[in-house]
Structure 1
Amino acid sequence: MRKLLGILLLSVTLWGVMAQGADRMIVVSGTSEKGLDPNMVSMTVEIWSKAQTAKQAQTLAANQFKDVKKVFDEYKIKKEDIQTDNYALNPEYVYDQKNRANKMVGFRVVQTLLVTLRKVDDAGKFLDALVTEKATTDAGVNVNSINWDSDKRDQMETAALADAVRAAKVKAEEIAKAAGVKIKGVSRISHGSQSHQPPMPVMRNFGMKAAMADSAPTELSAGQIKVRVEVTAEYEIN
């Protein structure tokens, strides 16, 4: 029994020493933010059509897609940078006030494409090129969103991470110096990152060229992508 009590007392003592050692920490955070110019732009391109029959709506949509595809080829967009995100064929209804019921008036096709343009300077001209020659209210093209990005984002995040760690170390050293202690080493480091890009919501119908024939060319400002990294570091002190 005495032996068991001795073991328990020794365990409690060791736990107390370990806990005391764990408390001898300086916990600091360090941040770094870097900016880089986008070298690609992703767009959500929506092709739509409507007609009295489903087959007519599909034919109109197919013809509209051919015109859009010509623009893709003109700007040398690769196949892997074009993805069909959604294709929907649905009946269209209007509410009949007289009968107080929905009445089917035709069909609508909506095809959504995710497109990546790797020449950001051509973004405005690319949007203008999507305007169709034929003026119609039965088919058209919408661009619903634009997102700027860069294939160098990971490299920039790595550089920011190193700066954030150095910033955390400087803080820890200053705190230790002011407290009259010395840093023994790093116990733990964790990190997180986030990026911010200029918002560019777009809701634009490109189905009618006649109304835009004399308009100025579209200009888009890419701005910069901001990459922010934050680290939390725990330093042991003596």
Structure 2
Amino acid sequence: MKKSLLFLSAVSFCLIAGAAQADDKVIVVSSSAEKNVEPNMVSLNVEIWSKASTAKQAQSLNASEFQKVKKSLDSFKVKKEDVQTENYSLNPEYIYDQKTQQNKMVGFRALQTLKVILKKTEDLGSFLDAMVTSATKNESGVNVNSIQWDTDKRQQFEISALGDAVKNGRAKADELAKAANVKIKGVSMLSHGVSHSAPPMPMRGMMKTMAYEMKPMDSTEVMAGQIKIRVDVTAEYEITN
């Protein structure tokens, strides 16, 4: 009997809570805010490649090319924590033989990909120039596949933009409430997301072109522009008549 009473009580509570929830009236708004920021750091995707008839030779060439890159990193005082090897591979290379109609191994290719963060953005052009190899043989080299501008004060700008986005959302909610002749009681839910509109700039093949075509007095120039930090907010406001 007691178990039956407890079960009926629980069911009654759930029904009452569900009915109360169904009677809730809310206004839901989406809002955003943006901050235009001058970047003070840049992230580069650096690719060190080499190829040779044997795996050992390909590794040796890659190691030699890496030392040139490391020398440039040291010269521009890039900290160790700002350099990370993201990938390393050593694989055979094949070509398709039309006569035998089979793949034929022609050598090995070694590839190391680095993520480099440069804190002095004004040095980027000179840094790219420093990594250009002067080798005339097409057996090893350095590619910069992309660069991406950023700021180390991103969190501060996000918090600042977040406040603006919430204010914008409240202004929208107030206008909707006024038009609907209702009053806002309070906030029942808030959520947010962050994005920035500075996608990586593709630069594939750039270093090879520079190595063979750049004149001695030429130097690379880059323009940082601004990055946009955007915050999106969704808010739910309780209303009453």
Which of residues 213, 216, 227 is equivalent to 2:229?
227
Change (3 A) 1:99 1:180: closer
Q: Count the aligned residue pairs.
A: 234
Structure 1 residues 172-181 or 89-98, which shifts more?
172-181
Match of 1:102 in 2: 103
Name the SS of the counterpart of 2:100 in structure 1. coil
- Is the CA contact 2:177–2:184 (under 8 Å) kept in the aligned structure 1? yes
Please list the CA deviations of residues 31-81 of structure 1 after superposition, one character each: whole Å capped at 9, or x if unmatched. 111121111111111111111122221111111111111111111111111
Q: 2:116, 2:9 → 1: CA distance?
A: 68
Matched, 1:213 2:215: yes
Match of 2:196 in 1: 195
- Is the CA contact 2:146–2:200 (under 8 Å) kept in the aligned structure 1? no
Counterparts in 2 of 1:30-179, with a 5 A limit?
30-179=31-180
Change (3 A) 1:159 1:91: same
Name the SS of the counterpart of 1:203 in structure 2. coil
- Is the CA contact 2:194–2:232 (under 8 Å) kept in the aligned structure 1? yes
- What is the Cα deviation at residue 11 of structure 1? 6.2
Structure 1 residues 121-130 or 185-194, which shifts more?
185-194
Q: 2:200, 2:90 → 1: CA distance?
A: 31
- What is the Cα deviation at residue 113 of structure 1? 1.0
- Is the CA contact 1:54–1:108 (under 8 Å) kept in the aligned structure 2? yes
Identity of aligned residues (%): 56
Q: 2:14, 2:52 → 1: CA distance?
A: 81
Query: What letter is aligned with 1:180?
Result: N
- What is the Cα deviation at residue 161 of structure 1? 0.8
- What is the Cα deviation at residue 148 of structure 1? 1.3
- Is the CA contact 1:198–1:224 (under 8 Å) kept in the aligned structure 2? no
Q: 2:159, 2:88 → 1: CA distance?
A: 39
TM-score of the superposition, structure 1-length normalised? 0.87
- What is the Cα deviation at residue 178 of structure 1? 2.9
Q: 2:183, 2:201 → 1: CA distance?
A: 50
Q: 2:234, 2:43 → 1: CA distance?
A: 33
- Is the CA contact 2:33–2:161 (under 8 Å) kept in the aligned structure 1? yes
Q: What are structure 1's unaligned runs of at least 5 residues? A: none
Match of 2:181 in 1: 180
Name the SS of the counterpart of 1:218 in structure 2. coil
Name the SS of the counterpart of 1:67 in structure 2. helix
- What is the Cα deviation at residue 159 of structure 1? 0.8
Structure 1 residues 91-100 or 207-216, which shifts more?
207-216
TM-score of the superposition, structure 2-length normalised? 0.86
Q: 1:12, 1:205 → 2: CA distance?
A: 66
Query: What letter is aligned with 1:31?
Result: S
- Is the CA contact 1:141–1:205 (under 8 Å) kept in the aligned structure 2? no
Q: 1:16, 1:131 → 2: CA distance?
A: 68
Q: What are structure 2's unaligned runs of at least 5 residues? A: none
Query: What letter is aligned with 2:229?
Result: V
